[in-house]
Structure 1
């Protein structure tokens, strides 16, 4: 079984955004969704449903962002 960084996609109320992606990135997202669906025994996950969890995962593992967010929160708490 393939070990992916993403697990099952949570069903959450979305906020609509419009983004332009390079065609190669879109193709990779489609393939990722197919692999993710197959590894969880479900249907392929649509590319647009992958973007938010991937961004969440990216930001959650970005130490620089985590530090900046903590500093911002502390600054807001002090005001």
Structure 2
């Protein structure tokens, strides 16, 4: 069987973000949750819990983002006096 891009879903302290998804995307999430549950043995009761690991996986595997992040991040995190900025 083909390997899914997601594995076990970690329980992490969340920051609340509200989004609206098209119904077709939510149905696809529900289908993905069902397939993931069957392949990992870990039932996913709420398909919305897949959004965070999917976004994380997307960002980790986006090579252009990783390259630009290395270029831009040092400029953003250093203040004019060389000290780190707090966000």
Task: With the length of structure 1 as denominator, give the TM-score of the two structures.
Answer: 0.87
Coordinate RMSD, CA, aligned:
1.6
In the TM superposition, structure 1's runs of 4+ consecutive aligned residues that sit over 6 Å from their partners are: none
> Number of aligned pairs?
79
The gaps in structure 2 that reach 5 residues or longer are 83-87
The gaps in structure 1 that reach 5 residues or longer are none
Which one has the largest radius of gyration?
Answer: 2
**Paired residue for 2:31?**
31
Higher relative contact order (CA 8 A, sep 6+): 1
Matching of residue 9 in structure 1 with residue 9 in structure 2: yes
Higher helix share: 1
